[in-house]
Amino acid sequence: MTEIEANAIAARHADVFHRPLMERLRGVIIITAIALYMVFAWWFFAIGQVISNGNWDIAGSYLADWVSYEIRPDIEYDGDALDVSFPRFSPLGSDPRPEWLTTETAMVERRVAASAAAGNATGGATSGAGFLGSLDAEPAKKEDGGFLGAMAPSSTTTESPGTEAEAAPQAPATTREEAVVSADISFGGDTHIRVQPGFVTVTHRGETLELDIEERVSVNARGPLPEWASQRAPGAKVIVRFGFAGRAEIEDDEVKVRRRFIGWENFFFDTRSPYWDMSAGEVLGTIFFGDRIEADRSNLSLAWNNFVNNADWQHGDVWLKLLQTIVMAFAGTVLASMLAFPLAFAAARNIMPNRVVNQVLKRFFDFLRSVDMLIWALFFTRAFGPGPLAGISAIFFTDTGTFGKLYSEALENIDDKQREGVRSVGAAPASVQRYGVVPQVLPVFLSQALYFWESNTRSATIIGAVGAGGIGLKLWEAMRTNQDWENVAYMVILILLVVFVFDNISNLLRQRLIGRQP
């Protein structure tokens, strides 16, 4: 192409090659405006500040909690001996002896009165307070109370009157008894911690950290700290982090170990169940061939009962709440489409000739739709109390408006020939609608109802959290306590499953109703 030809083309299409300035700059202006608005939003919501103040340390642990759990033994120094204790609701049951924690015992002299007092001070780090309790002693800027104030600074070491104190002789005397003198905690691979009275060795990635403990006074490292260990001040506690495998805090009076394992702990049976800690084969064997564990019922019924009432996972309750959410979406959508159906006929201009009725009904639909589902949900929660009734009512009110609008628009767009045909043979007005209008719009109506049924299943989850019941409320409660993230993951998976199944059912039904759509 020569230059002359190119110029000729440019001259013929002047509107393409010489556009007005505004038109050429429009893209730049729009992008600049959006960028400026984003800068404004950054300032308006203080996004940078909020993100930098975020508790990202905790975020990692929360995310890890979705698919894993921690076991948290505490090893307390007690003179020449050690005291290994587990939280009261440990996932390992009441008497845990994990193989990754090995102890050596020896005969040592102990002052009995002191040991009684010290022995009770441990064991308090219940699973209820454990995870955050271990953190609240850390940097002061971490505002744990930020999340709806659910996490009051928890007392990790609750002093509970133990039975040992009463049983022990009151006179301070020294006795010789068998006690733990050394504990070795393995974190997998070459990583392990060896705790001895007054001396702790941590080995990780080929490096060894040796720490001298002066009981209840200070923790001092021999040599420089490796990069996986940190200490805020000389003599203060040392925190060692091993990534996903866990962490440990070496304090001047105890070593707090947090060992993380992948998986959902005690998903089927909790520690109180006789089936706890059995393999799948053993459980099946016990159910079908074993002797009755409880005389008055079969093993199968006991297993089912233990599973449904699992204290950690609350399967029964979660399923019930999920069913509530499904029912909320289903009943709300069906009721709304049933009410909107006749009203839409009255709102459609071409069916009801009365303009006043049309307009009043259309504005009524707009009102129902525009008063948000949230407002209806809060309103009915106050009226009916928390539960699915409030959710059904909220979905019913909002969707009556939505369906009314959609249906009346569909009615106004129908083909009039069919109606004329029915009318011309002398049919009554009701028959004209029945045979001239309904067959045209019914598939559209049903397919829209199915669309909203599926989308309401999602909405019902959200409005549940403000009090309208169902799985939303349960999810919200689990998140608020900040330590049941594995339960949140479980519920999310159930919700995703239900939404996925309903999506497919609704697509299938719609395809059958209105034929395959592109």
Chain residues 58-97 in contact with other proteins, contact rule CB under 8 A: 58-59, 62
**Segment 398-437, which members bind other proteins (CB under 8 A)?**
402, 406, 409
Q: For tokens 């799948």, what's the residue?
A: 280
**Given the DSSP bridges, would you call strands 74-78 and 101-111 parallel, antiparallel or unpaired?**
unpaired
CA distances from residue 108 to 105, 311, 379, 408 in whole angstroms, order as listed: 9, 40, 68, 88
Establish if 16 lies at the interface with other proteins (CB under 8 A).
Answer: no
Site string for other proteins, 308-337 (x = CB under 8 A): ------------x--xx--xx-xx--xx--
**Segment 210-239, which members bind other proteins (CB under 8 A)?**
none
Interface segment toward other proteins; rule CB under 8 A; list 153-161, 219-227, 299-307, 454-462: 454-462
Least distance to other proteins from the beta carbon of 19, Å? 14
**Given the DSSP bridges, would you call strands 199-204 and 207-214 parallel, antiparallel or unpaired?**
antiparallel
Interface segment toward other proteins; rule CB under 8 A; list 3-11, 152-160, 246-254, 368-376: 368-376
**Given the DSSP bridges, would you call strands 74-78 and 68-71 parallel, antiparallel or unpaired?**
unpaired
Q: How far apart are CA 143 and CA 146, in angstroms?
A: 5
Closest CA to 200 of 179, 189, 185: 185
Q: For tokens 């994990």, what's the residue?
A: 98
Least distance to other proteins from the beta carbon of 377, Å? 8
Q: How far apart are CA 317 and CA 309, in angstroms?
A: 8
Site string for other proteins, 30-49 (x = CB under 8 A): ----x--xx--x--xx-x--
Q: How far apart are CA 465 and CA 483, in angstroms?
A: 18
Least distance to other proteins from the beta carbon of 243, Å? 19
User: What are the DSSP calls for 143-178, one per residue?
Assistant: -GGGTTT------SS-----HHHHHS-SS--EEEEE
**Segment 126-165, which members bind other proteins (CB under 8 A)?**
143, 146-148
Establish if 290 lies at the interface with other proteins (CB under 8 A).
Answer: no
**Residue burial 410-423, b: 16+ Cβ < 10 Å; e: rest:** bbeebeeeebeebb
Instruction: Name the token pair of 482.
Output: 């900040």
Least distance to other proteins from the beta carbon of 52, Å? 10
Interface segment toward other proteins; rule CB under 8 A; list 184-192, 221-229, 282-290, 447-455: 447-455
What residue type is assigned to position 402 of the chain?
A: T
Q: Which is nearer to other proteins, 250 or 392 (CB)?
A: 392
Q: For helices 388-412 and 315-347, what crossing angle results, to 10°?
A: 30
**Segment 263-282, which members bind other proteins (CB under 8 A)?**
none
**Segment 472-491, which members bind other proteins (CB under 8 A)?**
472, 475-476, 479-480, 482, 488
Q: How far apart are CA 250 and CA 76, in angstroms?
A: 10
Establish if 341 lies at the interface with other proteins (CB under 8 A).
Answer: no
Establish if 54 lies at the interface with other proteins (CB under 8 A).
Answer: yes
Binding residues for other proteins, rule CB under 8 A, total 78
Q: Which is nearer to other proteins, 153 or 198 (CB)?
A: 153
